[in-house]
Amino acid sequence: METWRKSSYSHTNGECLEIAESPESVKVRDTQNRTVGHLSFPPAEWSAFLTDIRNNDL
C-alpha cells in the first residue's frame, strides 16, 4: 500500500498533486482525479526534474 501526500504547493481551490515515494519510483497523481491513474518516474529522474524547476531551467 502506497502512502500518498499532498504537494506543499497545493492550492486551496483544488489544484493539487499527490506524491508517493519509494526507493523504486516516485508516483504523481491529480488529487481531483485519483482514480484516473498516476505517472511514475525513477527517483533520479524526479530529482533532476525538481532541480530544473528550482533553477528555472524549464
- Indicate the SS3 state at residue 34: helix
What's 1-58 look like in SS3? CCCCEECCCCCCCCCCEEEEECCCCEEEEEHHHHHHCCEEECHHHHHHHHHHHHCCCC
pLDDT tens string 24-43? 999 999 988 889 999 999 99
What mean pLDDT is reported for the chain? Answer: 89
Report pLDDT for 14. 67
Distance CA 9, CA 37 (A): 20
Helix, strand or coil for residue 58?
coil
| pLDDT at position 58 | 79
pLDDT of residue 32: 87
